[in-house]
Amino acid sequence: MGKTIYLIDVTNRDGVQTAKLGLAKLEKTMINFYLNGLGVFQSECGFPTTRHESNYLNANMELAEQGVLKPIILSGWLRAVVADVELAFRLTRVRDLNLSISTSEQMTEGKFQGRKTREDVLQEMVDALRRARELGAGIVGVNAEDASRTDMPFLVRFGRAAKENGADRLRYCDTLGCDNPFSIYERVKQLAAETGMPIELHCHNDLGMAVACSLAGAKGAVDGGVDAYINTCVNGIGERAGNADLLSVVLAVGKSSGFAEKYTLQPGLRLAGIWRLAKYASYAFGVPIPINQPGVGDNAFAHASGIHADGVLKDERNYELYHFEELGRGEPEIIETGRQICVGEYSGIKGFRNVFEKMEIEFQSDDEAREILELVRYANVLKQKPLVADELRFIAQHPRQVKQLLTVTP
């Protein structure tokens, strides 16, 4: 025992690569900002080899260096290919990396179609890993894509080779969501015991078990003697049926029967920020939060039936497992029902100043106000929906980095 379960949120990587969904670079930055406020250990926040990410990633790295996005670790995802590692180092200052390659027989044969054997897969991973180390990478994780359909002897070899060549962690990807809590527990425990590698759990929700599998996988890792790192997405967004929902994972670790007595969640979490983040992510992705979503759904603390309402009024513990205030709920929200002055991509200085005065943000000079207005207009061009107060505030506080991350040149 004595090992810890950490959170690595992948909303800005798996979440944004989801079909029909996406985020503007300012929105990705805001997600990093909220995750940092929440105390999440790491945000896998982008693709360092994708050119339209470069300015966003570099601006976020600068915000990290300045202490704005700190202590969260901002990491990038790329293929375990030497050329990609080199490109990532050329394009961005992201140095904490996850290198990904498929390990299952199905994917090696089905995707590479005879061009690569599994021995090649092993060698490519080692080569990419060594190159990342040579170039001065920070934390390096190696991802076994489709690990849940990979035979254990190969997975163990893969993990040992990663460890011998300088990887810090091994990501067990249940890429298709085919594991169940029993299978992932056994497999991850064995993998942990036989490789000694800290293990990341990356679970998908195709069978509705992403959170359960994440919990069981983390237990397997800790029981096997290593730290666990659970990959999450805000509101459970992610490829197809989604990833493990961030809040549900935290609640499952902290509130499910007896678990927290034996297994430790990372220190420093400030869960009261989750309500704001969940609402923001829902707005930014344009995906409503289901009414029955754990913790942040509209019905999560609603009671109608006679016995339940009576019971919860007498003692909330009769029908509520945790308190809404823990999640930052309960504050009244002010909704403007009369005249509104908004800012948009065609806003002028008068309306803009009115909006910022209401938020009690003052500018040193007219020039400064006009500079921020210009950035707000461009942010609107890229977002194509109204900016929220936190975004306006962020732009006013960090204009230089916002200008950089708004810059996308094909």
Q: For residues 239 and 391, which CB has a smaller minimum distance to Zn ion in the complex? A: 239
Q: For residues 188 and 327, which CB has a smaller minimum distance to Zn ion in the complex? A: 188
**What is the spatial distance between Cα 396 and Cα 399, in angstroms, rounded to a whole number?**
6
> Shortest gap between Cβ of 141 and Zn ion (angstroms)?
14
**What is the spatial distance between Cα 396 and Cα 404, in angstroms, rounded to a whole number?**
14
Helix axes of 389-397 and 366-383: crossing angle, nearest 10 degrees:
130
Q: For residues 131 and 149, which CB has a smaller minimum distance to Zn ion in the complex? A: 149
372: enclosing H helix or E strand: helix 366-383
Q: For residues 14 and 245, which CB has a smaller minimum distance to Zn ion in the complex? A: 14
Q: For residues 143 and 401, which CB has a smaller minimum distance to Zn ion in the complex? A: 143
Report CA-CA distances (Å) from 108 to 146, 166, 184, 317, 329: 10, 24, 21, 51, 47
Which residues of 80-210 form beta strands (DSSP E)?
96-102, 140-145, 169-174, 199-203
> Shortest gap between Cβ of 318 and Zn ion (angstroms)?
39
Among the listed ranges 8-16, 48-56, 96-104, 146-154, the one in contact with Zn ion (CB under 5 A) is 8-16
DSSP code at position 315: -
Other Cβ atoms closer than 10 A to 276: 18
CB 342 within 8 A of CB 380: no
Tokens standing for 248? 């549900």
Q: For residues 9 and 14, which CB has a smaller minimum distance to Zn ion in the complex? A: 14
Among the listed ranges 13-21, 36-44, 222-230, 397-405, the one in contact with Zn ion (CB under 5 A) is 13-21
> Shortest gap between Cβ of 243 and Zn ion (angstroms)?
6
> Is the Cα dihedral 134, 135, 139, 142 positive or negative?
negative
> Shortest gap between Cβ of 148 and Zn ion (angstroms)?
12
> Shortest gap between Cβ of 257 and Zn ion (angstroms)?
29
**What is the spatial distance between Cα 119 and Cα 393, in angstroms, rounded to a whole number?**
52
**What is the spatial distance between Cα 193 and Cα 69, in angstroms, rounded to a whole number?**
35
**Binding footprint of Zn ion, residue count (CB under 5 A):** 1
Question: Interface mask (CB under 5 A) for Zn ion, residues 233-272, using x and -?
Answer: ----------------------------------------
Residue 14 in contact with Zn ion, rule: CB under 5 A: yes
Q: How many residues does the chain have?
A: 410
Q: For residues 275 and 285, which CB has a smaller minimum distance to Zn ion in the complex? A: 285
> Shortest gap between Cβ of 203 and Zn ion (angstroms)?
8
> Shortest gap between Cβ of 217 and Zn ion (angstroms)?
14
> Shortest gap between Cβ of 270 and Zn ion (angstroms)?
26
Among the listed ranges 6-14, 152-160, 269-277, 365-373, the one in contact with Zn ion (CB under 5 A) is 6-14
CB 43 within 8 A of CB 12: yes
Residue 9 in contact with Zn ion, rule: CB under 5 A: no
* Residues lying near Zn ion in the complex (CB under 5 A): 14
